């Protein structure tokens, strides 16, 4: 088998690795290169641009500065850098030769291994940075929401490293579907509540109106913000959507660019799944910056679920980030802050809005979006697991199907296209979804928008 594979390509092309010295020293800020400014958040009362004071009740000063920064590069603190090693950075770029063979495509498919973090996804890239800055600015607790549990796990780990408390509101449907995620969070010292919960005024209100609700990220965000806003030693931390989260994730794309350079590849496509947009942004923004400066012709494809198609079906307007309407208004592709998505297995993609920076990049046509149903994406996830050996997260199966579709188009036109996708996470704690797929009981999402 190995002999056969190495005939097809160089071994170094099968897995491209970097050394510890190659971990990026700075985060990259696409705001510096976009041809128009990123629309600012608005104060929900006055509808005027929100100032740092509007965010100070729930975010530390250092992260507010990053949120509003126009600088192209921002230094990564040594304390965060050291812990990037702990989460297995730099991660390899790997070639999916067995999948290519299975598809009989002339296309070359590569994937970036963000599944190798100890909690299994890219989310630790920003969790470490956010826990660090909160600790450094003197806060002793963080609250947050989690959908599938990936973000809650990442933040619980990061808080344990920087020795601050972590309270997680976990969307009820995921709390029920993914009991072991809760165990992961609790192992790292996080406190986990199913959302909506009786812990907050907003949670009580939702429970009174809809006792059987599966919950949503929007509701869980409202609960986490309510707790943080009331306690001066507690801040709130968001795992996606905001500009500083996109920024922290750019270590993925900067490493990928170094790796592609090492094998002399300029990709035709870069593909990622999008929930709030952070793994996609982190993976593509450094390359989109180069494209704006005329250095590549790469196309950037964002893949979303048909159950929450915020870019393909939402409108581009100011909306709240949470269900209760407590957050500043963000200009984004949105399905409406009271949108209740179908309970699909890709819990990390069940969000009504899209990051303002990804939304703007899509509006300017730097990013194209497609949407698929979970029954199709799990089929792609199975093909990937059986050919490449990694069981991908349900979210990530969207990116894989995006890449497979492009590889099949390349087969149709008989072109040797190069496709690189971000393997945002593994699915070893999402086996309920795979079980349903295997026993034939997985439904198309009830509500397709």
Ligand X SMILES: *Cc1c(COP(=O)(O)O)cnc(C)c1O
- Considering only 216, 395, 401, 421, the residue that binds ligand X (CB under 6 A) is 395
What is d(CA 141, CA 137) in angstroms, rounded to the nearest whole number? 12
Q: What are the percentages of helix, strand and coil residues in the chain, rounded to 5?
A: 45, 20, 35
List Cβ neighbours of 95 (8 Å cut-off, separation of 6 or more). Answer: 9, 13, 14, 15, 108, 109, 110
Q: Per CB under 6 A, which region of 147-155, 161-169, 227-235, 307-315 contacts ligand X?
A: 147-155
- Considering only 89, 95, 113, 123, the residue that binds ligand X (CB under 6 A) is 123
- Considering only 66, 167, 279, 342, the residue that binds ligand X (CB under 6 A) is 279
Q: Which is nearer to ligand X, 268 or 430 (CB)?
A: 430
What is d(CA 251, CA 122) in angstroms, rounded to the nearest whole number? 10
DSSP state of 370: E
- Considering only 157, 274, 362, 406, the residue that binds ligand X (CB under 6 A) is 274
* Smallest gap from residue 280 Cβ to ligand X (A): 6
* Smallest gap from residue 117 Cβ to ligand X (A): 10
Pairing of strands 418-423, 269-273: parallel
Tokens read off for 251: 């270590």
Q: Which is nearer to ligand X, 181 or 320 (CB)?
A: 181
Q: What is the DSSP string of 312-328?
A: HHSEEEEEESSSSS-SP
What is d(CA 351, CA 321) in angstroms, rounded to the nearest whole number? 9
Cα 74–Cα 77–Cα 78 angle in degrees, nearest 5:
140
Binders of ligand X among 396-425, rule CB under 6 A? 396, 424-425
Q: Which residue is nearest to ligand X (CB)?
A: 425
What is d(CA 121, CA 429) in angstroms, rounded to the nearest whole number? 11
Interface with ligand X includes 184 (CB under 6 A)?
Answer: no
- Where do runs of H (alpha helix) occur along 162-196? 172-177, 179-187
* Smallest gap from residue 293 Cβ to ligand X (A): 25
- Considering only 275, 286, 341, 353, the residue that binds ligand X (CB under 6 A) is 275
* Smallest gap from residue 432 Cβ to ligand X (A): 15
Interface with ligand X includes 276 (CB under 6 A)?
Answer: yes
Binders of ligand X among 425-444, rule CB under 6 A? 425
Q: What are phi and psi of 309, to 5 degrees?
A: -85, 70
Interface with ligand X includes 121 (CB under 6 A)?
Answer: yes
What is d(CA 174, CA 31) in angstroms, rounded to the nearest whole number? 34
What does the buried/exposed string (b/e) look like for 131-160 if buried means 16 or more CB atoms within 10 Å of the residue's CB?
bbbbbeeebebbbbbbbbbbbbbbbbbbbb
Interface with ligand X includes 203 (CB under 6 A)?
Answer: no
Pairing of strands 315-320, 329-334: antiparallel
- Considering only 349, 400, 419, 420, the residue that binds ligand X (CB under 6 A) is 349
- Considering only 393, 410, 419, 442, the residue that binds ligand X (CB under 6 A) is 393
Interface with ligand X includes 240 (CB under 6 A)?
Answer: yes
Q: Which is nearer to ligand X, 181 or 193 (CB)?
A: 181
Instruction: Give the interface size with ligand X as a residue count (CB under 6 A).
Output: 21
- Considering only 214, 309, 348, 356, the residue that binds ligand X (CB under 6 A) is 348
* Smallest gap from residue 237 Cβ to ligand X (A): 13
Q: Which is nearer to ligand X, 384 or 417 (CB)?
A: 384
Q: Per CB under 6 A, which region of 3-11, 148-156, 159-167, 203-211 contacts ligand X?
A: 148-156
Q: Per CB under 6 A, which region of 58-66, 157-165, 229-237, 269-277 contacts ligand X?
A: 269-277
Choose among 307, 273, 287, 267: nearest CA to 402. 273
Q: Which is nearer to ligand X, 83 or 278 (CB)?
A: 278
What mask of x and - would describe binding to ligand X in positions 299 to 338, judged by CB under 6 A? ----------------------------------------
* Smallest gap from residue 9 Cβ to ligand X (A): 27
Answer for the pair 67, 55: CB distance below 8 angstroms, yes or no.
Answer: yes
What is d(CA 130, CA 358) in angstroms, rounded to the nearest whole number? 20
Q: Which is nearer to ligand X, 54 or 269 (CB)?
A: 269
* Smallest gap from residue 404 Cβ to ligand X (A): 17
List Cβ neighbours of 307 (8 Å cut-off, separation of 6 or more). Answer: 341, 342, 344, 349, 350, 373, 374, 445, 447, 448, 449
Q: Where do we find the tokens 């800020």?
A: 29
Side-chain-side CA neighbours of residue 9 (13 Å): 20
Interface with ligand X includes 278 (CB under 6 A)?
Answer: yes
* Smallest gap from residue 276 Cβ to ligand X (A): 4
Residue 385 neighbours by CB distance under 10 Å: 17
* Smallest gap from residue 63 Cβ to ligand X (A): 17
Residues that bind ligand X (CB under 6 A): 121, 123, 148, 150-151, 240, 273-280, 348-349, 393, 395-396, 424-425
């Amino acid at each position: 088998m190995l002999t056969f594979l190495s005939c097809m390509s160089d071994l170094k092309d099968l897995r491209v690795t970097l050394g510890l010295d190659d971990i990026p020293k700075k985060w990259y800020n696409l705001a510096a290169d976009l041809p128009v400014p990123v629309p600012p958040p608005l104060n929900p009362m006055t509808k005027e641009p929100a100032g740092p004071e509007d965010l100070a009740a729930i975010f530390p000063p250092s992260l507010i500065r990053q949120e509003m920064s126009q600088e192209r590069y921002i230094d990564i603190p040594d304390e965060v850098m050291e812990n990037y090693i702990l989460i297995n950075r730099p991660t390899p770029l790997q070639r999916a030769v067995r999948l290519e063979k299975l598809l009989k495509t002339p296309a070359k498919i590569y994937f970036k291994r963000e599944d190798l973090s100890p909690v299994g996804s890219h989310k630790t890239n920003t969790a470490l940075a956010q826990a660090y800055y909160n600790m450094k600015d003197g806060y002793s607790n963080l609250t947050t929401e989690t959908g599938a549990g990936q973000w809650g796990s990442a933040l619980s780990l990061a808080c344990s490293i920087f020795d601050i408390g972590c309270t997680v509101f976990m969307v009820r449907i995921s709390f029920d579907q993914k009991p072991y995620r809760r165990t992961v969070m609790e192992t790292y010292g996080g406190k986990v509540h199913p959302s909506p919960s009786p812990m907050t005024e907003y949670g009580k209100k939702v429970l009174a109106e809809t006792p059987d609700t599966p919950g949503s990220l929007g509701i869980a965000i409202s609960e986490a913000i309510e707790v943080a806003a009331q306690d001066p030693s507690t801040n709130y931390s968001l795992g996606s959507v905001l500009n500083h989260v996109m920024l922290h994730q750019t270590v993925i794309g900067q490493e990928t660019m170094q790796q592609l350079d090492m094998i002399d590849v300029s990709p035709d496509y870069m593909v990622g799944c999008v929930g709030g947009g952070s793994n996609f942004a982190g993976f593509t923004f450094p390359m989109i910056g180069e494209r704006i400066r005329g250095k590549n012709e790469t196309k950037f494809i964002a893949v979303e679920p048909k159950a929450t198609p915020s870019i393909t079906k939402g409108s581009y307007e100011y909306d709240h980030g949470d269900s209760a309407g407590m957050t500043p208004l963000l200009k984004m592709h949105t399905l409406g802050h009271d949108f209740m998505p179908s309970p699909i297995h890709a819990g990390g993609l069940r969000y009504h809005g899209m990051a303002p920076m990804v939304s703007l990049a899509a509006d300017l046509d730097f990013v194209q979006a497609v949407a698929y149903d979970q029954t199709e994406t799990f089929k792609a996830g199975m093909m990937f697991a059986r050919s490449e050996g990694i069981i991908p997260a349900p979210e990530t199966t969207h990116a894989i199907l995006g890449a497979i579709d492009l590889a099949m188009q390349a087969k149709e036109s008989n072109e040797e296209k190069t496709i690189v996708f971000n393997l945002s996470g593994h699915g070893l704690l999402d086996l309920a979804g795979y079980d349903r797929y295997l026993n034939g009981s997985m439904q198309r999402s009830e509500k397709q928008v």
